[in-house]
Copies of this chain bind each other. A is one copy, B any other.
């Protein structure tokens, strides 16, 4: 029997999609950076046992497996590299198994969309805080496999910080039931954190137990103009303390990217009477009624030594939405100014100003006229250091420099003990940078883990771990 016949026999016809038009959506890749290689089949099991069965059959026939959630990743982690592999879609594992308001937890299968979890939490007066642009499409299994970040990391952490337990199908087809909802458990090695962020290369996450938080009942939003990125870092630290650590978002925007939004995006307006080289979009939230966040924010910003050039606190939700539109319009607005090269880097928060300066100098040296566009999550040290092409350069000529320019930016990030893959992971885009930038010791540890958990290299082969020296 062929592998596809065996899969059909054991999982049912509906669970197996052969090459053809029905497979197209599973082969798409958002950025179009990777060649689309057809899979032997897309397998869509209905539950964790079906996933285990699929893994065992793939092992039997010597096929690699690419686990796929919402397929919204940007580094090709869910795209095939091996023409003979299977895509294992988790989309049918879409049940919320339990919601416990008093325990502040929720247990859900890997294929639940992020927005479905947000809704399930809200239905019992709780918040599931993971949130980002793709939340209607991405799935919690993929969120955990890539340790997704997003808008609320500053307050609630990355996906890793929200996970209390996992269910994982291992490379040998066994299921590890690590679904716990405990706040304290020191009864053995921390297995779950190995699978989180491993992009399906060590095991396939099929369900997770997650932390919930009290629902937000009050919100205060401000936009602040500043003379320097250094002033922004100091103000952020000050606001963390003065707000009672209720700061949920703190987005840094250079005048450059803000100007692009004003020029190219709809419904974007100059936020302050005067122009500033830097802006912070600050949001405080609280689950307490009448928390007085506006007053706290006002007091913190008007202090003489706060360093705020000017500021405006949103008097209503519509104005807050205006502020957020400025921030959220930047990525799209960049397109209006020509091709751009994205960098997904992080550095220690206090080093952001020095990093921006050094990285801007480095890319300008390599590509005179390039327009660095720095914006992003200051509290996470995660700046989208995007590069818009020089005015007089063609898109094609500029994009040909992608590899060289990102390597320059990564080099500078590493000088500050930063990361060359802050938020979007490694996938098939950056194993080369892992090999180039991580210490031999760390690469060896990664290879040892891969060899221990997936000795035959069947789970998402070619992703994350660089080939040995």
Q: Residues on A close to B: CB < 8 A?
A: 100-105, 125, 146-147, 149, 153-154, 158, 160-161, 170, 174-191, 193-194, 196-198, 202, 213-215, 233-234, 236-237, 240-246, 286-289, 291-292, 296, 346-351, 377, 379-382, 417-426, 430, 433-434, 437-439, 441-442, 445-446, 448-449, 451-453, 464-465
Contact = CB atoms under 8 A, between A and B. Distances in A.
A198 B191 CA distance: 11
Contacts of A147: 186, 190
B184 A189 contact: no
A154 to B, nearest CB: 8
A171 B191 CA distance: 20
Given A196-B190, A215-B241, A421 B288 contact: no
A contacts with B: majority SS: loop
Contacts of A288: 241-244, 246, 296
Given A442-B176, A442-B188, A182 B347 contact: yes
Nearest to A285: B244
Nearest to A233: B102
Which residue, A179, A187, A377, A419, has most C-beta atoms of chain B within 10 A? A187
25 contacts: A101-B237, A103-B350, A104-B240, A104-B349, A147-B190, A149-B184, A170-B445, A176-B441, A176-B442, A176-B445, A178-B442, A179-B417, A185-B422, A186-B425, A187-B419, A188-B421, A189-B445, A190-B194, A214-B245, A215-B241, A242-B289, A244-B244, A244-B291, A246-B288, A449-B452
User: Which of A245, A292, A420, A438 has most B Cβ within 10 Å?
Assistant: A245
B449 A184 contact: no
Nearest to A377: B184
B380 A184 contact: yes
Contact of A434 (B187, B236, B448, B449): B187
A356 to B, nearest CB: 15
Contacts of A198: 189-190
Which among A186, A382, A422, A439 has the greatest number of chain B C-beta atoms within 10 A?
A: A186
Specify which of A185, A198, A234, A434 lies most central, judged by the most chain B CB atoms within 10 Å of its CB: A185
Nearest to A161: B161
B286 A244 contact: yes
A424 B186 CA distance: 7
A164 to B, nearest CB: 9
Contacts of A146: 186
Contacts of A382: 183-184
Nearest to A218: B244
A422 B346 contact: no
B426 A346 contact: no
A119 to B, nearest CB: 18
B453 A448 contact: yes
Given A103-B348, A184-B377, A189-B446, 12 more contacts: A125-B241, A147-B186, A153-B183, A170-B445, A181-B348, A184-B346, A186-B423, A186-B426, A187-B430, A189-B197, A189-B198, A242-B288
Contacts of A424: 186
A170 B184 CA distance: 26
Most buried by B among A102, A188, A347: A188
Rank and list the top 10 A-B pairs by shortest CB-CB distance, nearest first: A244-B288, A214-B241, A193-B193, A187-B421, A185-B419, A244-B286, A102-B350, A103-B350, A452-B452, A183-B380
Contacts of A189: 194, 197-198, 202, 445-446, 449, 464
B244 A287 contact: yes
Contacts of A246: 244, 288
Contact of A241 (B160, B287, B451): B287
B286 A349 contact: no
Contact of A245 (B181, B197, B213, B241): B213
Contacts of A175: 441
Contact of A190 (B197, B286, B291, B350): B197
Contacts of A289: 242
B244 A188 contact: no
Given A104-B240, A183-B379, A434 B190 contact: no
Contacts of A180: 417, 419
A88 B103 CA distance: 41
Contact of A419 (B186, B296, B379, B380): B186
